[in-house]
Amino acid sequence: MVWCNVPIRQAVGTSAALGFPIALANTVGYLVAGRALPPALPGALGYLYLPALAVIATASVMLAPLGARVAHRIDTGKLKRLFAGLLLALAGSMLYKVFG
């Protein structure tokens, strides 16, 4: 998005907003795929471990305003470098899982 001249703060916000429907689709997918399996742990539903889901969802909702504040206070150039570094780290992690 930044390559298409979208301001970095808007690109980061759009990325964060798109994370929710992606996470929701994955959650539904894990529920559907594991619906016939017996629970591996107490509190599990298919491939989902519900206590972990609750902790991650709660932390995400509570820390989102802090992330937005930091994104608006930090220098645009630094924010671009941090976001690019995060994307490179995620890409490296995915490549390592595939080829490592």
57-94 burial, b at 16+ Cβ within 10 Å, e below that, comes to eeeeeeeeeeeeeebeeeeeeebeebbeeeeeeeeeee
Q: What would the two tokens of residue 96 be?
A: 């390592």
pLDDT tens digits, residue range 75-90?
A: 988 988 988 899 999 9
Please tell me whether the overall predicted TM-score, pTM, comes out greater than 0.75 for this model. Answer: no
pLDDT tens digits, residue range 9-48?
A: 888 888 888 988 999 999 999 999 998 888 888 999 889 9
Domain edges within the chain: 2-99
Distance between CA atoms of 15 and 13, rounded to whole angstroms? 5
Q: What would the two tokens of residue 16 be?
A: 């964060």
Q: How many CB atoms lie within 10 A of CB 48?
A: 18
